Amino acid sequence: MLDTATGKPAEGLVIEIYSLKNGERQKIRSVTTNADGRVDGGPILIGDTFRVGQYELVFHAGDYLRRSGAALTEPAFLDVIPIRFGISDTTAHYHVPLLLSPYGYSTYRGS
What are the structural domain ranges in the chain? 2-107
**Mean pLDDT of all residues in 21-41:** 95
Domain 2-107 has CATH 2.60.40.180: yes
pLDDT of residue 108: 96
* Residue 111 predicted with pLDDT over 90: no
Residue pair 107/78 in contact by the 8 Å Cβ criterion: no
How many angstroms separate the CA atoms of 20 and 26, rounded?
A: 7
**Percent of all residues in the chain with a pLDDT value above 90, rounded to a whole number:** 93
* Residue 95 predicted with pLDDT over 90: yes
* Residue 16 predicted with pLDDT over 90: yes
